[in-house]
Structure 1
Amino acid sequence: MRSAWPSSLAVAALWASRFVFARMPYKVQTPPLDTDWTYTVGTDPWPEHPRPQLRREAWQSLNGLWTWRAAASPDDVGSPPKAGPLDREVMVPSCIESGLSGLQILNVRDMWYETTFDVPSDWKGQQVLLNFEAVDYEATVFVNGVEKTSHVGGYARFTINVTDIVKFGGTNDLLVFVSDPTDAIVIPVGKQTLNPSHIFYRSCSGIWQQVWIESAPEDHISRLDVAADMDGLMTVNVLSSVHKGAKVEVKVFGQNGSEIASQTGSADEQFAFTVENPDLWWPDSPTLYNLTVTLGDDEVNSYTGFRTVFKGKVEGVMRHLLNGEFVFQFGTLDQGYWPDGLHTPPSREAMVYDLQVLKNFGMNMLRKHIKIEPDLFYEACDRMGLLVIQDMPALSASKTPNDEEQAEFQRQLELMINEHKSYPSIYSWVIYNEGWGQRHSDPAPEGGLTEVIRKLDPTRLINSISGWDDHGYGDYHDNHNYAHPQCGTPFYSRPKTPYDPERIGFQGEYGGIGHNVSIEHMWNVQAAINTIPETYEINEDLASYSYRSMVLFRDLREQTERYACSGAVYTQTTDVEGEVNGLLTYDRRFMRPDLEQWQEDIQSLYEAAVSRGGRPVGSGKVKNWVCVHLWRGSCVIDAPIEQAALLRHNTMQRLQATRPRSSMSSKMTS
C-alpha cells in the first residue's frame, strides 16, 4: 500500500488545476464504423442500476464525463500524477481505444482518470460503497487524496468502502490509475490484442463498465448466492460484511406480487427451503420470481428462476437436461464487440437489440465467447429466455502460462463463477477455447479446474474444452468444424478423438460462412479488410449464402436424428472487424440470412430432437420477452407499455427490411 499524498496542499493543487488549465472537451470520435446508437449516447451513459441481483434503493451513478491523461513517464505511474493536470475529457464507461470514449487512442498502456462526486448528506451514518463493474486491467483508486485499493483483472467487479474519507453533503475527488499490459504478459484477455488480425481484435483499456456509489448499513450484504431448482428447493447464501452468523430473512414474491414464501437463516451459512409448485424457467416461458433479502437494517432486492440443469441419458444417448427434459440448444457465438464502443455496448438498448435478433430467429441459446458482459446482459437473457454458455476469457492463444500466471487465471475464473452463478440463464461454463493458454502438462490443467468449478457451482454443466486438446474432462465432447458440423458423430476431425458417448455431443462452433458487403457496412481499417480472405468460406452472393446455410442446417438436423447431437453454436451474431460471417454486419444495419427460411430451419432442429426424446416444441407459454424489469408482478420497461409490442414488431420489420432479395449480389467495394 502506497502512502497517502504528503499534504492537503497537493490535493488542493490538483483540484485547482481543473480551473487553471483548459481541457480538451469531449466529442465522439469518428470510428472506422458507426451504428445507429453511436451519436445518441449523450453524456449520461448507462443510467440503469448495474447489479440487478443485488439492488439497494440508495445509489448514484458516477458515469459520464471524467478527465483523463496518459501517464507521462515512469515517475507518473501508480502514484498521484506528477506531470500536470488531466487535460482531456473522456466518457466513462468506455474503452479508450473506442470512438465513444472521445479519445480513440491506441497503444497507451498507463493512464489516469479523475472525477468528482457528491455524497448526499442524508447518507451520513451509513457506509458509502464505491463500485467499479470492470476496469481493464489493473486499477489503483484514490479518494480525496488517499489511496484506497488496487484491483487486478479486466472483467471482475470490485467494491471499496470509502466511508471514512468522504465528505457527506460535499464534493469528493476520485482519481484512478489504470495499467493495461494486454499482450505484454499472459493474462485473461479474450480476443484483445495490440496487433489485430482477423479473429483477434482491437484491445479495450480503461474503465469500460459502470462506476457508482451506494449507501448501506455497517453490517450489509456483500454477496448473495441463490439457486432455485425444478422441485422448488431454494438454496441461499448471504455473505455479510461484518457479522458472520447474523440473522437474515429471504422473501419470495409470486407473479401477482404477493409473498409466497419466506425463510430465515444465518449469514455466511448456506440454508435451504422449499417454494411450493413454482412455475419453472424455460426458454419459451422464462418465469422469474422477485426476492427481498434482509440482514439487520440492510435490505436488497433480487430475483431468481426455478430450473435444474444436469445430464442424463435419453433413449440411450447422453444429453444435457433442463428441468429433466432434453432441450436441443441452438444459438450463436456471441462475441459482444461493437465498432463504436468495442467491449462497451453503446447502451443497454443496443445490447438488448442483439438478443432480440436472436430470439426473432427462434434461437434459445447463445455462447458468450471469451468475454464477460455487464450484469444487465445476463438479466436480459434471464427475462427473454436465452440460455447462456459462459466462456472464461482466454489467455493468449500463442503463449503458455507459467505457474504464477496459471494461478491468476484460476483466481479470475473463480471470480467469474462466483459473480454470475445466480443468473438462471447461465447453464454451462467453458474453461478453455481451442487450447488457447492451455498448458500441455500431465495432469492436464482442465482436470483440476473442472473440480474447482464443481465445488463452487454444482448446479451447472462444465465444458472443460471447447474445440480441441480434449483429455476427457467435463460434461461435453465439443467439436469445432468449419464449415461442416460433426456433432456427436462417428466421424470427426477436431478434436482428433472420437465422440465420447459418456459425454454430451455438442457442436461448440460451426458455420462461419461469409459474405462480403459494401464498404459502408465494413470496419474500415485496411489491415482488417486484408484478412477477409481468411474467412472459413466466402459466398459471392446471398443466393449461394442461403443455399449453403440450408445445407449446414440439413447436416445438423440429420446428425440430430441419426447420431448424438444435442446442440450447436453457429458462428456468429455479427461481423467483427475483419470477420464477415455474422448474421448481421458489424454495424447491425444489414442482415444476411433469409429470416423466414432460418426460422423454419431452426424449428426443424428442435423437431428433430423431439424425434429422439426431446421436449416437445412450444411446450411452454411464451411470455412477453420485451419486459426488462419485473418487480412484484409488474412489468416495467423504459417506454410506455404499449410500446413493448411495437418494439418487437419493429425489430422484425427492421431485420426483414435490411436484407435484400437473395438474387441480389452484394460484393464489397473498397
Structure 2
Amino acid sequence: MRLSTTFVASLVVALVSAQGNGSYAVKTPPLTTPWTDEVGTNPWPEYPRPLMERANWQNLNGIWRYENASGLGAVSSPPFNQTLSQEVLIPSCLESGLSGIQATGAIASWFSTSFTVPSSWIGQHVLLNFGAVDYEATVFVNGRNATFHRGGFFEFTVDITNLLKNGTNDLLVFVHDPTDSEGVVIPVGKQTLNPSHIFYIPCSGIWQSVWIESAPANYITDLVLSAGMDGEVNVTVQTSGTAASPVEITVLERGSNVPVGSGSGTSNVAFQFAVDSPKLWSPASPNLYDVTVRVGSDTIKSYTGFRTFSKGPVDGIERPLVNGEFTFMFGTLDQGYWPDGIYTPPNREAMEYDLHVLKDLGFNMVRKHIKVEPALFYNACDEMGLLVIQDMPALPSSRKPDAAQQDEFERQLQILIKQHRSYPSIIAWVIYNEAWGQITDTYYPEFALTDLVRSLDPTRLIDATSGWADHGAGDFSDNHHYANPQCGTPFYSLASSPFDESRIGFQGEFGGIGHNVSIENLWGVQAAINTINQTYEIDENLEAWNYRGHVLLEELRQQVERFSCCGAVWTQTTDVEGEVNGLVTYDRRINRTDPVQWKADIQALYDAAASRSNATARLF
C-alpha cells in the first residue's frame, strides 16, 4: 500500500511546521483517535498521583511556551525574562500532534510557564511535581536553579518554597533528550529517531502532568504500603524532616469511609498492623480500601488492596499464586502508544478504553512493555482488576552499556520499583526483554539485579529475562515465540532457552498475527506502511484473523492442560505505527475480535488451569 503524493506532501508540511505564528493548535498527526479533538487546552485535570494525594494542589497543565534550544550547552544561558517563540500543550510529547509542535529531532528544548501560589498557602511549603520528563530536566524557578532530574519515565518533586516570590512566579525547564545520540546507552524502551516496524517515534519533553501542592514544613515524601491476604498491613512513611515523627494510618471501607483498621508507628521506620477479615483483591474481585496517613499536620490520602502474590508447587509444577491459589495469568503486550499523543494518551477515557477492551474479553493481566505509564494507569488497573507485569524500560536493543551506563540502568531500575511497589495490581517485574542492553559476554548482571529487586520488593515475582539470554535468574522460565506458543513445553526454538522446571513456565510473547486495514486506520507514514509485511503473519480478512486467533489459543490451552504452562502474553493490545497485529487498530476505531469467540477461548484457558490445580502430573 502506498500513500498518495498529495497526502505525503501535506504530511511533510505538517511534520516540518514547527515554525509559525506561535499560537497553539493541534497539528494534524499521521492518524487521529476518537479523542483527538476532545483534549482541549486543559488536559489531564485529574489529581495525578492517587497513591499519595494532597487536598491543596494546583494543576499546571495547559498551554506553556516552547522553543528549540541550540544544544546541550544552552542550559548555561537560560532565556530568563524572555518569551519563548511557540505555544505548546503540557503534558505532551513534542513529536506528537497534540503538542502543537510535532517536532523531529528534539534534542534540546526550553519550556516556560508562570503560576501564582494561592494566598491560603502562605506559611506552608510549596512542592513542584513532574510526572515524567524525557529524558533530562533542569528546572529553574524565578531565575534560580531548583533541581536536575535524569530518567524519562519517573516522577520527581522539588521543594520550591525558598525560590518563590509574591505574585507571579516564572517556571523555566530545560529538557535534553539524547535518544540515539552517539555513544548514548540509556533506558529508551522502543523510542528511536529512525522508526521501523517494532521501534517507534520518540517522545521528548514534559509528557506527564505538572502540579504544585502545599505541605507543612515536615511533610510526607514517600509512602510504601502493602497489604497481604492475612490482613497484615506493612507501612513505611518517609518524611522531609530528619527527626522521627509519629505516624497514624487509618484503613477505611471504600465508599462508606467506615474505618476497618488503624495503626501507628514512626516515620522512616517500617511498621505493621492488622485488619480483621478484609475483602481480598483479585482480578475477579478487585476490592480496594481507602487509606489516610497523618504525620503531624500533613495528611495524605491513599488506598490499598489486600492480596498476596507468591509461587509454589501445584500439581507438581511451580506456579504463580494469587492469594494462595494458582491463577493463570493471561494478558496482552501493551505498548502504550497513541497516534495523536505518542506516549501521552489524549485523556483518561482514552487510556482506560484499552484496559476495558481487555477486561471485557476476559483478560486478567496486562504486560506493560518497556514503558512506564502515568500513575492513573496503574490506578485504573487496580480498580478494574487487571494484574500488571511491569517491564523496566529497555536500553537500546543493539547497544551494550559500559560500567557507568550499567550503573545508571540499575539506579533507574531501583526508581521504577520504589515508585510503583505500592500499586496492588502489579504482580511481577521484568528486568530485561530479549537481551536488549543485557550484558552476556563478561558476566550475567540479571542475578545481582534480581537480588536487588527482591530486596526492594519481596512481595512480587521477578521475570529477570523475558524471552532469551536466560541463565537461570528470577522466578520465570519465559519463552517468546511467534506465532504459536511454546509455554512450559518439552520443545522450544533456538532463540529461546529450554524450559526450566524449577521456575514458572511462562509465554512472555506469542501471537502477533496481523490484519491490514485501509489508510484511514493506519499510521500515515510511508516508511511505516512499508514495514507492514514484516508482521509475523498477515491474515487477509477478519474471519481468517479470528480463526487463527482461535487456533493459537487452542494450542495454548492444550499446553496448559498437558505441560507446565502457567501464563501467557498475547501480542498485542493495539496496532502501533507499522505494526498491524493489535486486537484493535492504532486509532482505536476498529476492534478486530469476535467477542463471543475470544471470551470462550480465554475462559477455556482458565478452565484448563483450574483442572490442573488438583490433578496428578500428566505426560504428553
TM-score by length of 2: 0.94
SS at match of 1:192: coil
Q: How many residues of Structure 1 are paired with residues of Structure 2 in the alignment?
A: 593
Partner of 2:382: 382
* Structural RMSD (CA): 1.4
Q: Which residue of structure 2 aligns with residue 180 of structure 1?
A: 177
Secondary structure of the residue that 1:358 maps to in structure 2? Answer: helix
Q: How does 1:111-260 map to 2 (within 5 A)?
A: 111-168=109-166, 170-184=167-181, 185-255=184-254, 256-260=256-260
Judge conservation of contact 2:361–2:595 (CA < 8 Å) in 1. Answer: yes
Per-residue deviation, 1:441:
3.6
Question: Partners in 2 of 1:477 and 1:74 — Cα distance?
Answer: 43
In the TM superposition, what whole-angstrom CA distance separates every residue of 1:387-410 from its partner, at most 9, and x where no partner exists?
000000000000000000000000
Q: What secondary structure is seen at the aligned counterpart in 1 of 2:406?
A: helix
What is the one-letter code of the residue matched to 1:181? P
Rounded Cα–Cα distance in structure 2 between residues aligned with 1:171 and 1:454: 46
Give the letter aligned to residue 231 of structure 2.
Answer: G
Tell whether the 8 Å contact from 2:331 to 2:363 is kept in structure 1 after alignment: yes
One-letter code aligned to 1:329: M
Deviation at 1:77, TM superposition (A): 3.4
- Structure 2 gap ranges (5+): 1-19, 616-620
In the TM superposition, what is the alpha-carbon distance from 1:494 to its structure 2 partner? Answer: 5.0
Question: Is the contact made by 2:315 and 2:614 (CA closer than 8 Å) also made in structure 1?
Answer: no
**Structure 2 SS opposite 1:552:** helix
Per the alignment, in what secondary structure is the counterpart of residue 160 of structure 1?
Answer: strand
Q: How does 1:69-148 map to 2 (within 5 A)?
A: 69-72=67-70, 76-81=74-79, 85-148=83-146
| Conserved 8 A contact 2:480-2:496 | no
What secondary structure is seen at the aligned counterpart in 2 of 1:346?
A: coil
Deviations 1:508-548 (A, max 9, x none): 00000001001100001000000011000011112211221
d(CA) in 2 for partners of 1:496, 1:264: 49
Which residue number corresponds to residue 507 of structure 2?
A: 507
SS at match of 1:193: coil
Whether the 8 Å CA contact 2:506–2:568 is kept in 1: the answer is: yes
Taking the aligned partners of 2:50 and 2:109, their CA distance within structure 1 comes to 30
Query: Residue type matched to 1:239 in 2?
Result: Q
1:451 is displaced (CA, Å) by: 0.3
Q: Taking structure 1 as reference, are residues 475 and 73 closer, same or farther at Cα in structure 2, changes over 3 Å only? A: closer
Find the aligned partners of 1:263 and 1:600 in 2 and give their Cα distance: 45
Question: Secondary structure of 1:105's match?
Answer: coil
1:524-563 equivalent positions in 2, closer than 5 A = 524-563=524-563
TM-score of the aligned structures, taking structure 1 as reference length:
0.87
Give the counterpart letter for 1:439 in structure 2: I
Structure 2 counterpart of 1:655: none
Distance in 1 (alpha carbons) for counterparts of 2:243 and 2:360: 47
Give the residue type in structure 1 aligned to 2:603.
Q
Letter in structure 2 aligned against 1:390: Q
Superposed counterparts of 1:413-452, under 5 Å = 413-452=413-452
Q: What residue is the counterpart of 1:498 in the other structure?
A: 498
4+ long deviations beyond 4 Å:
none
Seen in structure 2, the aligned counterparts of structure 1 residues 109 and 382 have a Cα distance that, compared at 3 Å, is: same
- Cα deviations by residue, 1:43-86 (Å, 9 ceiling, x for unpaired): 00000000001001000000000000001356533431389641
Matched position secondary structure for 2:612: coil
Q: Distance in 1 between matches of 2:392 and 2:494?
A: 21
The amino acid of 2:139's aligned partner reads: V
Whole-angstrom CA distance in 1 between matches of 2:298 and 2:543:
60
SS in 2 for 1:589: coil
Amino acid at match of 2:207: W
Show the counterpart of 1:658. Answer: none
153 and 296 in structure 1: CA distance in 2 versus 1, 3 angstrom threshold = same
Q: Could you tell me whether the CA contact under 8 Å between 1:482 and 1:511 is conserved in 2?
A: yes
5+ residue gaps in structure 1? Answer: 1-21, 616-670
Q: In the aligned structure 2, how far is the partner of 1:352 from the partner of 1:232?
A: 30
Q: In 2 relative to 1, CA 43–140 (structure 1 residues): closer, same or farther, beyond 3 Å?
A: same
Q: What is the correspondence of 1:221-620 to structure 2 with a 5 Å cutoff? A: 221-255=220-254, 256-493=256-493, 495-613=495-613
Distance 1:614 1:392, change over 3 A: farther
Contact 2:288 2:383 in 1 (8 A): yes
- Residues 468, 494 of structure 1: 8 Å contact kept: no
Over residues 222-273 of structure 1, what are the superposed CA-to-partner deviations in whole Å (9 max), with x where a residue is unaligned?
A: 0000010010010000001113421000111124321111111000000011
